[in-house]
Amino acid sequence: MNQLKKDDPAVYELTLKEGQRIENTIDLVASETHMSQSTLETMGSVLNHKTIEGYPGKRYHAGCEYVDEIETLAIERMKALFEADHANVQPHTGSSANFAVYFSSLQVGDKVLAMNLAHGGHLTHGHFASATSKCFNFEHYNVDLKTELIDYEALAEHAKRFRPKMLVAGASSYARLIDYEKMSQIAQSVGAYLFVDMAHIAGLVAAKLIPSPVAYADFISFTTFKTMAGGRGGVILCKEQYASAVDKAVFPGTQGTSSVSNIATKATIAKIATESRFIDIQQRTLDNAKLLADLLSNKGYRIVGGGTDTHQVVVDVTSKDLSGAQAEQTLEAIGIITNRNYIPKDTSTKASGLRLGTGPIAIRGMKESEVRIIVHLIDEALHNLDNDSRLNQLNKEVLALCKQFPVYS
């Protein structure tokens, strides 16, 4: 970054510091990943230069011969990886992908049934603060408050009552599997489209370690920067009959030019995702999450939904008389990065949950013995909230662990 150092020492310094922060902390944020070196190279390459509008072979600017090949590679590889009829690789991120899915097949004001945010859903699933709720008429389904799992019978009844034009399945904070076959039966029973938002779990699906929604869903969206471990961006998959509507809804419907460098990283991750190194990381991600949930549960932390089938572990920290924010801040003080999250029982604006994810530590090569250490560190910290010297000691232990598992060497 020699030129950046000259042009903008302030941003240069902050970038270096961010690099050190990444090396010296343990990342348990479920929606993050450690970007591969090749992703960083592509993101910072000449591919940032080109303005593209339209699709390969049908562009609105000349000079697209190579970027057309890149986008075609990304599309074909994503289709092959997920066995999908059609892929659109232009969405800037997951939210833009979701907007395009809605506008591909709904009219403003149409009814959509999606998961409640506090029960696991996403802002773009019609939360009042999201523009999605201003465009479409959302109702939300909840999990069963006892099991904290989706109650498919209640959902089917809700769908019969509400008669949505689209049913949204998929979540940002729900650690258990979703039954896509049941979801598709419910959607079909009321003549609704099924849209599966697999933003968090796409990497696990790509590795074929958890069930794929592709056979059941009309539309699928995902981000490439969560378990998928590619660059920042979004992808839409759909059945052939919706291909043209989806493409039009992305460009020109909801986006202008897309980012060729981000599209290129999508091509690369779709290639890497077929290789054993990727599948090994996804398996380690799952193994680490199961162990993390078991060990925390053994120490008296209540695990939301009773456990995990994915990379996520959602912890009810009120089981230790803490708020989500207190837990998040205390762990940050020792160098363990997490995020507080609403859980189904939350009725106020205070989050009771702490959402953990094991993607980044799996990429770093951390396995069972490191997960055991991490659980010990978490538990110690959360029992020593106000004990700065103990927290300092624990931070040293975090640093020592990080040194053994460099992100970038």
Ligand X SMILES: *Cc1c(COP(=O)(O)O)cnc(C)c1O
Residue 394 neighbours by CB under 8 Å, 6+ apart: 334, 377, 380, 381, 384
The residues in 24-43 that bind ligand X, with binding defined as CB under 6 A, are: 31
Q: Could you tell me which stretch among 87-95, 106-114, 365-373, 389-397 binds ligand X (CB under 6 A)?
A: 87-95
Name the minimum Å distance from CB 97 to ligand X. 7
The residues in 105-144 that bind ligand X, with binding defined as CB under 6 A, are: 122, 124
Per-residue x/- marks for ligand X, 222-241, CB under 6 A?
-x------------------
**CB crowding 66-97: b at 16 or more within 10 Å, else e:** ebbebbebbbebbbebbebebbbbbbbbbbbb
Q: Which of 39, 88, 90, 95 binds ligand X (CB under 6 A)?
A: 95
Q: Which of 35, 75, 112, 199 binds ligand X (CB under 6 A)?
A: 199
Q: Which of 51, 93, 257, 319 binds ligand X (CB under 6 A)?
A: 93
Name the minimum Å distance from CB 242 to ligand X. 19
Q: CA 295, CA 301: separation in Å to the nearest integer?
A: 9
Please say whether the beta carbons of 26 and 374 come within 8 A. yes
Is the CB of 30 or the CB of 391 nearer to ligand X? 30
Name the minimum Å distance from CB 95 to ligand X. 3
> Distance of CA 31 to CAs 106, 171, 199, 232, 360, Å?
28, 11, 9, 11, 9
Name the minimum Å distance from CB 246 to ligand X. 16
Per-residue x/- marks for ligand X, 160-179, CB under 6 A?
----------xxx-------
Q: Could you tell me which stretch among 156-164, 193-201, 239-247, 381-389 binds ligand X (CB under 6 A)?
A: 193-201
Is the CB of 59 or the CB of 140 nearer to ligand X? 140
Name the minimum Å distance from CB 173 to ligand X. 8
Name the minimum Å distance from CB 389 to ligand X. 37
Per-residue x/- marks for ligand X, 295-334, CB under 6 A?
----------------------------------------
Is the CB of 227 or the CB of 330 nearer to ligand X? 227
Is the CB of 213 or the CB of 335 nearer to ligand X? 213
Q: Which of 68, 148, 197, 316 binds ligand X (CB under 6 A)?
A: 197
Name the minimum Å distance from CB 394 to ligand X. 30
Q: Which residue's Cβ lies closest to ligand X?
A: 94
Name the minimum Å distance from CB 243 to ligand X. 21
- Token pair belonging to 406: 């460099």
Q: Could you tell me which stretch among 32-40, 194-202, 261-269, 278-286 binds ligand X (CB under 6 A)?
A: 194-202
Is the CB of 68 or the CB of 197 nearer to ligand X? 197
Q: CA 310, CA 222: separation in Å to the nearest integer?
A: 15
Task: Work out the number of other CB atoms within 10 angstroms of the CB of residue 386.
Answer: 7
Q: How many residues bind ligand X (CB under 6 A)?
A: 14
Does residue 366 bind ligand X (CB under 6 A)? Answer: no
Is the CB of 335 or the CB of 353 nearer to ligand X? 353
Q: Which residues bind ligand X (CB under 6 A)?
A: 31, 93-95, 98, 122, 124, 170-172, 197, 199-200, 223
